[in-house]
Structure 1
Amino acid sequence: MIDITSAVNRANTAGINATDIQLLVLDIDGTIAGVSNEINEPVKQAIKAAQRKGVQVAVATGRMYCSALRFYEEIGSTLPLITYQGALIKDPTTQHLHRHLRLSQALALQLLDHFELPELRSLLSIHCYVDDRLYVRELTPASIAYGERTGVQPIPVGDLRQFLTIEPTKILALCDDPAVIDQLLGTLRGRYTPAELYLTKSVATFFEATHPAVNKGEAVRYLAEEILGLPASSVMTIGDNFNDVEMLAYAGLGVAMGNAPAEVKAVAKWVAPSVEQDGAAAAIEAFLL
């Protein structure tokens, strides 16, 4: 068990005033859902306890909107749902679309051309997201496993470059070898500026590309400041991977999971136990309850 008193004391020393927190934003995979792909009961109970104290709770995920919806409903959130790293922000209750930032079609086609290079084609499974549907070149073991975990049916269409006639929400490249993803990320970050594309990893084997204005930090800022009228100091975020870095840095209290890479932990103000140890519940108990 985590030493709650010690955690709070360290937070106070770091200048974190947890009593000011009015908004809690949670990542899904690796944060509130682990290997089981479900939210454990201690995490659900901690979230409900925070809500009873008046803390509003939101979800910010790289998942598709349709895939994230069951987690959103399970924790009883009433705020707009942040999906696709923040590219799509929509209120499930009213169906109001707050934001949908799509990739440039021209840049998307350039990425797809790159993925078709002979040295990459056989290594990568490519996912293209259009209007909350998942399109793939072909069904691969990686795409099938992804579909099973997310509850989404991948739709094979052959050459995605011929299929893509409108701007996609996101493009994802999957590879079992993290070194391939790291090399891909490095190559494309050298080719495109942050003003052209937002490039990140959501897990070690997932390369993701979205509109340049998209990241979870900007999405959480939009939710907190423009929708709820809250300052960053009133926000607590919990995440576990590189696509969470911006929201951990933005929040008054950014918490990294124990299973996060070292570079992600370095950005956070506090590190919780791992997802399999219900670290999100421990963080909520430490700072909000």
Structure 2
Amino acid sequence: MNYDLIALDIDGTLLTDDHTLTSNVREAVREAHGRGAEIVLCTGRGPANAIPVLDKLGLAGTMITHNGAATVDSASRTVLHQYSIDNAEVARFRAYCLEAKLHFDLNTAFEMLIEDITPEAEAMYRLYGASPVLRNPGDPLPEGLVKFTLFGDQAELDRVEAEWNGWTHGLQHIRSGDYFIDVQHRDASKGKALRQLAQLRGIEQSRVMAIGNYFNDVGMLTFAGLGVAVANSPEAVKEAANVVTRSNEADGVAHALHAFAWT
């Protein structure tokens, strides 16, 4: 086995566009695990809708969630490490979205909170298997927030992202998909969380493999000894990777594992 730790993004990478885990991908991931690699889902999702994917793989263990803002143990449902964000900083992004009538959710390590719901947002949550909890907008923001996520159409988010790029603030915002912008702690990233986990396990960087598809995956792709971008990735993500595999619609994860993980 060439790699002791294999980090897998979920959406657009492990799953097809309709969020299906194919049998080819499942069996390849399980084979990698059976050969001795630790499989770590490394995702922008929260644990609540990432754990079901791990269950479908027939695996359990450590997951890097919320783009590295919360590392959790799937079996015990405990937080191993998290980067909480300042509610005063979050309030500015929330106020912007309220004024612009843009949908958002607020995330602690294990809970997703919303203040309203639109048909589009409801369909999106259903697609991702998420079950947000409706909060009272008049209540104080909860403690322990790790991520604020904005959802909208691509052109609208392009405009918001360009405007937020001009802001000065203590957080970071990152595009985690065509229809999502995530706001979180400056130190939170998939790459940093993967590095911390590898160090904890005593695994050399050269023995880490990562597969992803979007801008929030670049940190882990550049950290890993082998960073693999699926073919449906933006060009900048492909350029950050060492190699490019097939798309998520063509069992790219399975192809990459067979091609590189144990040959």
Which residue identity lines up with residue 149 of structure 1 in the other structure? L
Kindly indicate which of the two structures has a greater share of residues assigned to strand: 2
Q: 1:154 aligns with which of 132, 147, 159?
A: 132
Match of residue 168 from structure 1: 145
Match of residue 81 from structure 1: 63
> In the aligned structure 1, how far is the partner of 2:91 from the partner of 2:78?
30
Q: 2:94 aligns with which of 85, 88, 112?
A: 112
Q: Shift of residue 131 of structure 1?
A: 5.0
Which residue identity lines up with residue 137 of structure 1 in the other structure? E
Quickly say closer, same or farther: Cα 1:96–1:287, change in 2 above 3 A: same
SS at the partner of 1:30? helix
Matches within 5 A, 1:23-34: 23-34=5-16
Match of residue 202 from structure 1: 176
Quickly say closer, same or farther: Cα 1:283–1:125, change in 2 above 3 A: same
Q: 2:105 aligns with which of 118, 127, 132?
A: 127
Does the CA-based 8 Å contact 2:71-2:80 persist in structure 1? yes
How many pairs are equivalent?
Answer: 262
Match of residue 188 from structure 1: 164
Does residue 263 of structure 2 align to residue 287 of structure 1? no
Does the CA-based 8 Å contact 2:43-2:67 persist in structure 1? yes
Q: Shift of residue 42 of structure 1?
A: 0.4
> In the aligned structure 2, how far is the partner of 1:60 from the partner of 1:246?
11
> In the aligned structure 2, how far is the partner of 1:20 from the partner of 1:44?
19
> In the aligned structure 1, how far is the partner of 2:184 from the partner of 2:61?
23
Which residue identity lines up with residue 148 of structure 2 in the other structure? I
Identity %: 29
Does the CA-based 8 Å contact 1:198-1:215 persist in structure 2? no
Matches within 5 A, 1:37-52: 37-52=19-34
Q: Please list every run of at least 4 consecutive aligned residues from structure 1 whose deviation after the TM superposition is greater than 6 angstroms.
A: none
Which residue identity lines up with residue 182 of structure 1 in the other structure? D
> In the aligned structure 2, how far is the partner of 1:154 from the partner of 1:241?
24
Quickly say closer, same or farther: Cα 1:95–1:266, change in 2 above 3 A: same
Larger radius of gyration: 1
CA displacement, residues 27-51 of structure 1 (integer Å, 9 cap, x when unaligned): 1111111123221000011112212
Does residue 205 of structure 2 align to residue 232 of structure 1? yes
Which residue identity lines up with residue 86 of structure 2 in the other structure? S
> In the aligned structure 1, how far is the partner of 2:32 from the partner of 2:239?
26
Does the CA-based 8 Å contact 1:125-1:142 persist in structure 2? no
Structure 1 segments unaligned to the other structure (5+ residues): 1-18
SS at the partner of 1:255? strand
Structure 2 segments unaligned to the other structure (5+ residues): none
Comparing 256-265 and 150-159, the one that deviates more: 150-159
Does the CA-based 8 Å contact 2:82-2:109 persist in structure 1? no
Q: Shift of residue 171 of structure 1?
A: 0.6
> In the aligned structure 1, how far is the partner of 2:171 from the partner of 2:259?
37
Comparing 50-59 and 205-214, the one that deviates more: 50-59
Q: Shift of residue 283 of structure 1?
A: 0.4
SS at the partner of 1:202? strand
Which residue identity lines up with residue 204 of structure 2 in the other structure? P
Q: Shift of residue 163 of structure 1?
A: 4.3
> In the aligned structure 2, how far is the partner of 1:78 from the partner of 1:129?
22
> In the aligned structure 1, how far is the partner of 2:79 from the partner of 2:136?
30
Which residue identity lines up with residue 279 of structure 1 in the other structure? G
